[in-house]
Structure 1
Amino acid sequence: MGIRFNNEAIVAGSSSIPLLSLAYLAGAVLVLNLPRLPKFHLDAVLILTSFLLLLACKHLPFRPLYGYCLASFFLAAGVSLLQSGLILEDQLDPLLSGQTVTVEGWVSSLPVIRKSDNRYSSDTADEQDHDAQFIFQPVASSQKLPRNIRVNWYRNAPDIAAAEKWQLQLRLKPPRGKVNFQGFDYERWLFRRDIGGLASVVSGNQAMAASGASPALTGLRWRQHLSKQLDELGVDNSPSANALIRALGIADKSLIDKELRGLFARTGTAHLLAISGLHIGLVAMAGLFLGRALLAVGSLLLPQLVSRLTAKFSRQQLILLPALLLALVYATLAGWSLPTQRAVIMLLVLTLGVWFRRKINPWHAWSLALLAVLGLDPLSVLDPGFWLSFSAVACLIFFLNGGSNRNRLYSLLWAQWVVVVGLLPLTLLFFSRIPLASMLSNAVAIPLTGMLLVPLILLALLFAGSLPGLATALLSAAASLLDILTRYLRWLDQYIPALDLHWSAPAPMVLILLVLTATLLLLPRGFPKYLLALLCLLPVLFPFRSLADYPLRVEMLDVGQGLAVLVETPEQLLLYDSGPGDGQGRDVIASVIRPAVRASGKSLSVIVISHGDHDHSGGLQSLREYYPQASYFLNQPVVDYARPCNLSESIPWLDTAGIRLDILHPNPELPYQGNDSSCVLMFRYQQLGILLTGDISQVIEQRLLRLYPALQATVMLVPHHGSNSSSAEEFVSVINPKLALISTGFANRFKLPATTVVDRYLDIDAKVLDSARCGAVRLDYTDNASLAGIHYARQSRAAIWRQASGDCQPGPDLD
């Protein structure tokens, strides 16, 4: 392209820039791994210390470079603490949780429109009912509210558009989410995006004319206009292609369904769905071609002007301008998302180097880009994309030989191999998956996206207003190419499936082994690298089982307002209930249950659905897709692959460790009665009893006491999430649990658990553990059935962004 790095060999320590950038990175990483924000003003102390070190570097008893690195480290730590503190200070006042306020403000994101979720409704919704989700920026309110609020408008949401001004009545909630030992961290996601509160709309009206919008909202209004044009020009017979066109054109992924996301993830092409460094780089490359073409045409039409320009500036300087311009336009289309910001900063570093006629060393460019990204936003280290993008470039710089005379095809294939293998450790740590078809899929998908799809879509957007016929033809061509691409990816997915890994090894050990594996695979020939790499990878592919010391583990997952419990023995893994969902893929299986199952090192062998309510059975369809080999037991809904869960059935259970499993309810002769037909399970292990009760009412509690007069349990799942309709005093007294587990959603609209119910358990000296306060709760039992430990996800995954759970166990400690 006319731009080449000076690819000299870089010896560690020969330049201060990489060391300074790595020191800055270390400072940001350290702070953002703290379990909590320091209470005193440590940020000011660290920033002041960094400036003092800079002033005193020449007078320190060691090399000045070490002083500069220390100053860089302290500055990054101080700035990270400062930014984190500002975000946390802006979060919703806990006193406002549950209150309804009237707010005027701006819709500051493209709304995500979905069909209404009626999991808690008994009526049948109209097919046109839909929900809307968007970010709201308050400008006028009687209360002090966060800068950004994530709003859900449930049922009959109006046609709301980005950059519109609305007056809304909002029911407020703090930025709190489900916390489990593994899986997606929603609170971290909110913190990273500076979202200080959550809310649902009670009522709302569009406000007066939208005046006074910021430049950012003006750009958002442009994206909304383009979104509407894409709706009008879309290809009717290809919804998947339309969804992908929106993702590649304006970074709107809301229409991409679960199946399509899974396909791209399994084939290692999920990075194409988000406008990121790759897309910006491809557009910038197109800009370089455009710059060359403009110079060539200008030399013919305006030779004198071109001669004057080339006399003052080099051709490299001139052709970089359209590249940078196109990249900026595309980043605006993407809403200046975090990955696009990083890519534009890296491109700016390259552009400045060329314009100031500096001979750019690749490591210097990489280091300056790293410093620029972290300097502007130290919280970038929380993004997987940050690590993947900078690691990919580092691998290319380190392992590619710039002076190689090999042919271009070989160079492209080698570069692909370097990136795939080099990113293997991070890919596995972030996604627990090896997309074996990654090289074959990206070899087609990347050039197709960069050379054809993105240019076609951008040209269609350019001509959408003036030449709609041409724009439609361009989008149809893009849709046809996307259909070909998805068919190709499905073929690869069928014959080269992704390797999903199950492990429970500590993350540091996994990372070390994976880094060693990747390094060995990229070493030159003549070294016994493949055998050594395989030996390093074996403990990752075939990890030791997690229950070496504990023959029984019970884990109540945090699924919000619903229920999911895992019971694990050395031989088996049983799931009791699936958590909430709508039965159509909107559930917690992928985000909560699958990560927990992966961490066990096993697959689910038995799945029991207590009853048909959506907060217990809503993920059944997804469970069937992920775990078709499991034995299913449920009473509702009636499906051909499951057996009923009642007294006439016996669940296949290997009790080699002496752990028995019995069904206590319901009777097969009784009709289905909703909550009261919940399948009640009892696990017995020596003197230990674990009772899983579903949503039974006091009527069924009395029936259980009549059928099993000596019924007792050490651990009991509190019936019906702690509702007043359950947990009668006699039942609680007879069962006499030492541990009472309650699964509820934080600040749920049912106001569960009821205070009177909690008091009944506290009165018998039970320890009450609520998932809304503790997150997921894990119980480990030893060979003699004694409790080895109680673990709380909110404590195990304590983080600077995590709201303190306080005392998540209001009952007395166990002996």
Structure 2
Amino acid sequence: MKRLSGNYLFIAIAAIFGIILAHLSYHPLVGLSILLYFVYLHSRGPKIVVIAASVCIVFFTIYFELYDEYNSTKLTGSETNLTFKIATAPDLNGRTLSTVAKIGNERVNLRYTIQTKNEKNELTSLKVGMICRFEGQLLLPNKARNFNSFDYKKYLYYKKIHWIFSPTSLSLQNCTQQAPTPYERLLLIREQGINYIEKHFPKDTIGIAQALIYGERGYIDDEVITSYQSLGLVHLLAISGLHVGLLTGAIFYIVIRMGFTRESVTHTLLCLLPIYTIVAGAAPSVIRAALMLMILLSCIRWKKIYPIDSIGIACFFMVLINPYLVFEVGFQLSFIVSLGLILSSKTIILRASNPLIQTLTVTVIAQLFSFPIIIFYFYEVSLLSIPYNLLFVPVYSVIILPLSILSLLLHILYEPIGHSFMFLLKMILNILNKFALYGAEVNLLSLTVGKPHIFFLVGYFILIITIFKMWERSNRKLIVVSIILIVTLSVVDLNEKLLNPYGKITYIDIGQGDSILIELPFNKGTYLIDTGPKTLHFETEEWKKKRRTFDTGKDILLPYLKSVGIRKIDKLIITHGDLDHIGNAELLIQEIPVEELIFGAGPIEKEFEQQLVKKAYEMGIPISEVATGDFWKSGDYTFYVLAPYGDEQTSNDRSIVIYSEMGGLKWLFTGDLGKVGENKLIATFRSLPVDVLKVGHHGSNSSTSEEFLEHIKPKISIISAGVNNRYNHPNIDVLNRLLEKESIILRTDQHGAIQYKFRGRSGTFRWVLPYNKTILKPN
């Protein structure tokens, strides 16, 4: 073991390589990375590390294959009457109850829609460890429906969950309380603590106090957590190594001052840390911090161990127990940032001349090491991140965390004193949260990068590590060279669209509505046709209100646009004023700069149209009105406006209709054009050949007439419609008419997002569902 001292990290990295190699089906790029890794190991010696790393890669490659193979379900999906054990604290969120239940050794997600307020009150007594029997239906989790979007099915798969159980009813009469296991007792303590904070703390402090003490972020206000994410502060709302270290250090100091020996305190902490890990939610960052501290404490008495070894050993055992952790963003950020800080602690951080410079150094190191991961998962960074971290990290560490813990403990012991601390906590958090919300609103200082290509990601990590190596050696020339290289790489990454010869037309799966993104090659134009439906939030009883409601604009449209690096929209085209087309437009223009807003000729009558026009005027966005005969050109691409004419009687027939040729195909975008409008097009344009038709009005029978199809003869027809929508779109008669014309039908409700990627006069279609990303090459 001595010969490996200081080298355990390399063994852990080898384990991660083995898992990734198996996960990516032996991708040659991973193989090349492993080869370069061994060249590096061989150059630095000793040989035992090379041998150990080799054995580790082989072992973890085989281990992951077997681990993944056995991650399967024994349920068929036809089971309706199930007996299960409540495995996690039930979450009552509005009308939804959700928890994880165990059926034998298999875990399922249980989701139930609560019917009445009395039933909700009754279900608060549902606890971890209860054995219940209910009738219901097993459902498959939803897959990702858009490119780069959150994949709920994969998320559950990594937690070894394959089904969602939806009970027809839920009554505690069908449940019996069993004697809880030690693990379940800790979960019950955690649940009681979370509920205690919810019941007794001021509303503005509940979410953050729960997050800092118990690792529960579900109660934090949506606007607050969004602002923290955009400013790179969200790590403060998770229990991290800093929190665990501060608590452990405080306990160690207090107990030593009380007269206990170091040995007894060490033994006590070694027993308490695993307990605290479970009570704090057992997130990857908590497990990593607790494991590192336990390793360091264990070695205090009989053997010195380097901090770099502790992180290596902790990483090794975590991926040995659960290899899927490698793919969790929390695990990646926790280890990469911790590793960067440990590597820099003696050679860089301790060189700082005063505490302020030291804090700045730590912040810069943490931000740089986390940068590639942040842009890969969240697609944007804020230039305010470093100054905000400089302020918020010390305040959270020295004031907010201790105040949260003291408020809880003192309120339990003596309520009046606890209330005083809570009031102070509320005042400070209100100031901090307002400051965070203000910073998040400064869009000019937020930079949308988009999801980087793997080569850019690898390049960022190599250059960041090089910068710190040169910083350690005080090699100013190579530091400057490395900084110039990373800035150059960032500029190329940010302007990749200017060099990209490919264009894309993406039918975003926005639900029951339309939203089509057109990206021309070499960034010659970015056009968005409609923005999809606005999620309406109606007034409801207090017990029915969710902590956070789904929003198509915030949860689908904006994340997708940011993931593909959209920082500016040249033309936002609102085909007509119906809510399923214009719904997210106001949100969009506040989040992403829009150069021109386009409406069709005719009266602006609908409420949402009028609101959008007013907002655009306030923001200084130019507004244009188009009608048949108008067109615009960008490079080799011309977009012709075929309708409206200006005298239409209905909103649908006033839809802007656009015709263009891209990637060797002729495209027709029709909005919600009805049969009256289609007949006008037939009469006006005697020849209108179409390769790809955006089927009007989501496949409603009021559009896509026999005469219109005979006139345009589309080879491919794309229908944008929501899954199981209440209008039953697309209509069966429309589908039959398209099939009779031998038109290939693509539907967002069946295929998810649909995309045509082209270069010059050729291209290919791909879509999200099914997961084989079927490719269609049109003739």
| TM-score, scaled to structure 2 | 0.80
Identity of matched residues, %: 21
Rate the CA distance shift 1:278–1:621 in 2: closer, same or farther, 3 A: farther
Question: Per-residue deviation at 1:765?
Answer: 3.0
Rate the CA distance shift 1:223–1:648 in 2: closer, same or farther, 3 A: same
Higher deviation after alignment, 156-165 or 436-445: 156-165
Aligned to 2:497: 546
Q: Give the whole-Å Cα distance in 1 for the aligned partners of 2:155 and 2:515.
A: 23
Question: Per-residue deviation at 1:623?
Answer: 1.1
Q: Give the whole-Å Cα distance in 1 for the aligned partners of 2:97 and 2:401.
A: 27
Aligned to 2:193: 226
Question: Per-residue deviation at 1:204?
Answer: 3.7
Question: Per-residue deviation at 1:371?
Answer: 0.6
1:147 aligned to which of 103, 107, 111: 107
Q: Contact (CA 8 Å) 1:436, 1:496: kept in 2 or not?
A: no
Aligned to 2:33: none
Q: Secondary structure at the match of 2:497?
A: coil
* 1:592-623 per-position Cα deviation (integer Å, ceiling 9, x unaligned): 43454342555222223445665544433431
Supply the AA of the counterpart residue of 2:449.
H
1:682 aligned to which of 651, 659, 671: 659
Rate the CA distance shift 1:203–1:331 in 2: closer, same or farther, 3 A: same
Aligned to 1:391: 336
1:576 aligned to which of 529, 546, 549: 529
* Uncovered stretches (5+) of structure 1, i.e. residues with no partner: 1-9, 37-61, 115-129, 299-305, 795-802
Q: Contact (CA 8 Å) 1:163, 1:217: kept in 2 or not?
A: no
Rate the CA distance shift 1:633–1:368 in 2: closer, same or farther, 3 A: same
Aligned to 1:177: 143
Supply the AA of the counterpart residue of 2:517.
L
User: Structure 1 residue 776 and structure 2 residue 753: aligned?
Assistant: yes
* 1:28-76 per-position Cα deviation (integer Å, ceiling 9, x unaligned): 122233499xxxxxxxxxxxxxxxxxxxxxxxxx966555433321322
Q: Give the whole-Å Cα distance in 2 for the aligned partners of 1:400 and 1:608.
A: 53
Q: Contact (CA 8 Å) 2:533, 2:552: kept in 1 or not?
A: yes
Task: Map 1:47-446; keep pairs closer than 5 Å.
Answer: 66-89=50-73, 93=76, 101=80, 103=82, 105=84, 108-109=87-88, 130-132=94-96, 134-137=98-101, 139=103, 147-149=107-109, 151=111, 153=113, 158-159=119-120, 160-161=123-124, 163=127, 170=136, 172-198=138-164, 203-212=169-178, 215=181, 216-235=183-202, 239-289=203-253, 293-298=254-259, 306=260, 310=261, 315=262, 317-321=263-267, 323-324=269-270, 327-328=273-274, 330-355=276-301, 357-401=302-346, 409=355, 410-446=357-393
User: Structure 1 residue 740 and structure 2 residue 705: aligned?
Assistant: no
User: Structure 1 residue 533 and structure 2 residue 480: aligned?
Assistant: no
Aligned to 1:45: none
Q: Give the whole-Å Cα distance in 1 for the aligned partners of 2:655 and 2:137.
A: 33
Q: Contact (CA 8 Å) 1:651, 1:661: kept in 2 or not?
A: yes
Q: Give the whole-Å Cα distance in 2 for the aligned partners of 1:109 and 1:609.
A: 46
Question: Per-residue deviation at 1:807?
Answer: 5.9
Q: Give the whole-Å Cα distance in 1 for the aligned partners of 2:723 and 2:310.
A: 46
Q: Secondary structure at the match of 2:486?
A: helix
* 1:773-808 per-position Cα deviation (integer Å, ceiling 9, x unaligned): 54432213444xx332223345xxxxxxxx745868
Rate the CA distance shift 1:630–1:27 in 2: closer, same or farther, 3 A: same
Name the structure with the higher helix share. 2
* 1:202-259 per-position Cα deviation (integer Å, ceiling 9, x unaligned): 5443444541375455444433433332233232xxx443332232233332333342
Q: Give the whole-Å Cα distance in 1 for the aligned partners of 2:663 and 2:363.
A: 56
Q: Contact (CA 8 Å) 2:637, 2:660: kept in 1 or not?
A: no
Question: Per-residue deviation at 1:662?
Answer: 1.2
1:659 aligned to which of 638, 641, 644: 638
| TM-score, scaled to structure 1 | 0.77
* Uncovered stretches (5+) of structure 2, i.e. residues with no partner: 28-45, 538-548, 617-621
Aligned to 1:476: 423
Rate the CA distance shift 1:538–1:66 in 2: closer, same or farther, 3 A: closer
* 1:523-577 per-position Cα deviation (integer Å, ceiling 9, x unaligned): 3345222354134322323444437565753111233554321012232211123
Q: Give the whole-Å Cα distance in 1 for the aligned partners of 2:276 and 2:444.
A: 33
Rate the CA distance shift 1:511–1:791 in 2: closer, same or farther, 3 A: same
Question: Per-residue deviation at 1:755?
Answer: 5.9
Aligned to 2:594: 629
Q: Contact (CA 8 Å) 1:178, 1:560: kept in 2 or not?
A: no
Q: Secondary structure at the match of 1:451?
A: helix
Q: Secondary structure at the match of 1:582?
A: coil
Q: Secondary structure at the match of 2:107?
A: coil
1:641 aligned to which of 584, 594, 615: 615
Q: Give the whole-Å Cα distance in 2 for the aligned partners of 1:603 and 1:213.
A: 59
Q: Secondary structure at the match of 1:256?
A: coil
Question: Per-residue deviation at 1:380?
Answer: 0.8
Question: Per-residue deviation at 1:340?
Answer: 2.2
Question: Per-residue deviation at 1:677?
Answer: 5.9
Q: Contact (CA 8 Å) 2:205, 2:426: kept in 1 or not?
A: yes
Aligned to 1:124: none
Q: Give the whole-Å Cα distance in 2 for the aligned partners of 1:699 and 1:212.
A: 67
Rate the CA distance shift 1:203–1:748 in 2: closer, same or farther, 3 A: farther
Question: Per-residue deviation at 1:391?
Answer: 1.5
Q: Give the whole-Å Cα distance in 2 for the aligned partners of 1:682 and 1:213.
A: 69
Rate the CA distance shift 1:207–1:267 in 2: closer, same or farther, 3 A: same
Aligned to 2:8: 17
Supply the AA of the counterpart residue of 2:22.
V
Q: Secondary structure at the match of 2:258?
A: helix
Task: Map 1:715-794; keep pairs closer than 5 Å.
Answer: 715-723=692-700, 726-744=703-721, 753=730, 757-783=734-760, 786-793=761-768
* 1:574-598 per-position Cα deviation (integer Å, ceiling 9, x unaligned): 1123234415784344554345434
Higher deviation after alignment, 359-368 or 479-488: 479-488
Q: Give the whole-Å Cα distance in 2 for the aligned partners of 1:467 and 1:527.
A: 58
